[in-house]
Amino acid sequence: MSKDHQGLEKVRASKFQYQEHHPLVPPPSDSEPVSRRQRRKGKRSPSPLLIPQSSENPNLSNSAHPLSPVQYLQVLTHDALSIPSSLPLTIMPPTSSIPLLIASIGNPGPAYADTLHSAGHTALDALRVLLNYPSFSKSRALGSLVSLPPSPDLPWTLYQSPTLMNVSGPAISSVWRAWPYSGVGAGGVLVIVHDELEKGLGSVNVKRSGSPRGHNGLKSIIKSLPGVDFVRVGVGIGRPESREPGVVSNYVLSKMNGRERKVVEDSAWGILKALQEIRG
pLDDT in tens, 52-81: 344 444 433 333 334 444 444 544 444 433
Can you give the pLDDT at residue 96?
52
Q: Tell me how far apart the alpha carbons of residues 3 and 41 are, in angstroms, rounded to a whole number.
A: 12
Classify residue 256 by its DSSP letter: P
The helix/strand/coil state of 93 is: coil
Q: Is the pTM of this model over 0.75?
A: no
pLDDT in tens, 81-126: 333 333 333 323 344 578 999 999 999 999 999 999 999 999 999 9
Catalytic residue among 5, 78, 117, 194: 117
Q: Which domains does the chain have, with CATH numbers?
A: 3-82 (no CATH), 100-276 (3.40.50.1470)
Mean pLDDT within 21-45: 41
Is 21 a catalytic site residue? no
Q: Tell me how far apart the alpha carbons of residues 192 and 43 are, in angstroms, rounded to a whole number.
A: 45
Identity at 273, one-letter amino acid code: K
Contact indicator for 230, 175 with CB cutoff of 8 Å: no
Neighbouring CB atoms inside 10 A of 208's CB total 11
Neighbouring CB atoms inside 10 A of 135's CB total 11
